[in-house]
Structure 1
Amino acid sequence: MGTLYSAVFFAPPGLDEQAVNAGLFNAVDRVDQQMSTWKADSDLCRLNTAPVGQWQAVPRELLQVLHTALLVSRESGGAFDIGVGDLVSAWGFGPAKQLDEQRANALRMQQRKPASEVLEIDSSTARVRKVEPVALDLSGIAKGFGVDELARCLERFGVTRYLVGIDGEMRARGLKPDGQAWAVAIEKPLRGVREVMGVMELTNAAIATSGDYRHWVEVGNTHYAHTMDPARQMPLSGELAAVSVVESRCMLADAWATALMVLGVEAGSKLAQRRGMDALFVLRDGEGFKELSIVGGQVQTQC
């Protein structure tokens, strides 16, 4: 995935650390092998290049991620859409790493259907097919699923107190031996700078953040984030700098953070309230930031 993973845990006596290390690596490597757009032989890339209308067998893990992605897409009104792989590539956020303005502008003019309308899943046989051409990209959900796989790996070894993460997407279970929850830093959304904005205490939950400050391109005087807005068929640019979401699973937190980021603070916060979500919106305000915190669907802070 081009990044680092981590696992901090309190283990039962006699745990085979080498076996745990191997298990953790295999967990994230399996996700990468299945869902990467950077590996031409990944299961996702094979699905992307498969003929329209042809059923493709896919691993159960990929099937689960696709199913969840389409569910979040429908529940977010299409704000979360995995069918934007062509846009990701054109804007230089894919393997090519090169902005193609001519292609990006051409794609903006095309009619587009969300992946939820052009992808069919047969869960009973673990098969997927496209009914229309679509380029799938799972960068808004696969990393969160990878975190969940790290958690499942530790639990298979009998570990019940842990904090696992991939590049800032985190999942925690249990408490530390001193009874404290796991402390997770919330990063200040500054481009090119790593700085802590606050700390979230986490137990038996996962957190993920979508933001515009890690990966972006600058065109003229405008910064465009790596997250695509399916409705505008363009990357995000605006006052909303980051959205963090707390959920039961990191896959859900990852996808919903992306969806709320795409929706923006007004529509996103309203949806978060209707769904009873825990979410933090961080907006740029001159040289500083404003925050909107929602806990259990209720607005807690607005400053």
Structure 2
Amino acid sequence: MKTSTELPRHSLSGETMGTRYTALFYADAGIDVDDVGRRLAHAVARVDQQMSTWKPGSDLNRLNAAPAHEWVPVPKELATVLAAALRVSQQSGGAFDIAVGDLVNAWGFGPGEQTGPEQALGTLAPTPRVLASAALVVDSQRNQVRKRSALNLDLSGIAKGFGVDELGRCLEGLGITRYLVGIDGEMRARGMKPDGRRWAVALEKPTRGVREVMGVMELSDAAIATSGDYRHWVDVAGQSYAHTMNPATGAPLRNRLAAVTVVAASCMLADAWATALMVLGETQGPRLAQARGMDALFVLREGQQYKEISIVGGQLQAQIESR
């Protein structure tokens, strides 16, 4: 009989959500790896078909197009993600909001009608916006949703994390309990490697146009997600605007934060909270992370250098200057 340290290591990957998913796991040599691959691909494809704004026939786009005040049946997974998004929105004081699809499109980051960043720049003055938490009702018992007013929902700040969780649930359903799964930089780990070591996850240095490792974090039975300003952005009139929208200003966020990484029990929540803390900025973000007892890493731009603020279990651990 094989010992746990002799379990074969398997690696699978594929395309999803405009990027790639990965799965590293240890399982008995007799497992049908091709079947595992098909199941993983189906799991993320289902999430994408439900929650993508880039797929015209997605369940999310169907909800966006539905009239206000009408109950719309949705898949259970979508109802789960919408309900979680509303909770994080309320708990973050509206910093995380999914009713920003119009802004995402206007600034050229989405599939919808684009006015162009130059035109969007002319509407930077803060205007009152309806938050999804105030205008969206989710009935998780019946898997149906009702909009109190017209909303353009965008789940790019939470759906990828949920997709990672689905990859994990897929493997666990097959009895696989030692794995590291991810979609782009959002990851979820279960168990330990057979040699007793935790899973190592690289943290990317938030430098635009360059892929460079800033540090490594070890995970076991936890998920990690990062929100940053260094992957997708536009330059307008000599200023740089990141793809993350600030509901308070109705425009891309602009603060000193280059990236926020959150460790949580689920990748869905890590994803949403990383976005929320990024929007809150370098002062309010760490304060809320401490108040909620979170594990988070804030990376601030200091000229050509970076400053790291580490919070573990809600306690400030370190403030480090780095290049």
Matches within 5 A, 1:34-183: 34-96=50-112, 99-103=116-120, 105-106=122-123, 110-183=127-200
The one-character-per-residue Cα deviations of 1:214-256 (angstroms, maximum 9, x if unpaired) are: 0001112211110000001110123210000000000000000
Q: Which residue of 1 aligns with 2:265?
A: 248
Q: 1:96 to 1:54 in 2, by over 3 A?
A: closer
Q: Supply the RMSD in Å over aligned alpha carbons.
A: 1.3
TM-score between both structures, scaled by the size of structure 2:
0.91
After the TM superposition, which parts of structure 1 deviate over 6 Å for at least 4 consecutive aligned residues?
Answer: none
Q: Which residue of 1 aligns with 2:316?
A: 299
Amino acid at match of 2:55: K
Corresponding position: 1:271 with 2:261:
no
Matches within 5 A, 1:5-16: 5-16=21-32
CA distance in 2, matches of 1:62, 1:151: 17
CA distance in 2, matches of 1:214, 1:42: 25
1:8, 1:163 within 8 Å by CA — same for their partners in 2? yes
Structure 1 residue 109: Cα displacement: 5.8
SS in 2 for 1:125: coil
2:190, 2:222 within 8 Å by CA — same for their partners in 1? yes
CA distance in 2, matches of 1:65, 1:52: 20
Structure 1 residue 151: Cα displacement: 0.2
TM-score between both structures, scaled by the size of structure 1:
0.97
Q: Which residue of 2 aligns with 1:260?
A: 277
Structure 1 residue 107: Cα displacement: 7.8
CA distance in 2, matches of 1:96, 1:58: 22
CA distance in 2, matches of 1:134, 1:10: 44
Identity of aligned residues (%): 66
Amino acid at match of 2:186: E
Matches within 5 A, 1:161-240: 161-240=178-257
Amino acid at match of 2:28: P
Moved more, 108-117 or 187-196: 108-117
Structure 1 residue 170: Cα displacement: 0.3
SS in 1 for 2:152: coil
2:118, 2:236 within 8 Å by CA — same for their partners in 1? no
Give the aligned length.
303
CA distance in 1, matches of 2:160, 2:210: 22
Moved more, 232-241 or 188-197: 232-241
CA distance in 1, matches of 2:209, 2:215: 18
2:126, 2:248 within 8 Å by CA — same for their partners in 1? no
Q: Which residue of 1 aligns with 2:11?
A: none
1:12, 1:159 within 8 Å by CA — same for their partners in 2? no
Structure 1 residue 104: Cα displacement: 5.8
1:189, 1:211 within 8 Å by CA — same for their partners in 2? yes
SS in 2 for 1:147: helix
Q: Which residue of 2 aligns with 1:3?
A: 19
Q: Of 15, 22, 27, which aligns to 2:43?
A: 27
The one-character-per-residue Cα deviations of 1:102-145 (angstroms, maximum 9, x if unpaired) are: 35644856421110100011122111010111100000000000
1:89, 1:95 within 8 Å by CA — same for their partners in 2? yes
SS in 1 for 2:262: strand
Structure 1 residue 20: Cα displacement: 0.3
Amino acid at match of 1:300: Q
Structure 1 residue 212: Cα displacement: 0.0
CA distance in 2, matches of 1:68, 1:228: 19
CA distance in 1, matches of 2:106, 2:78: 24
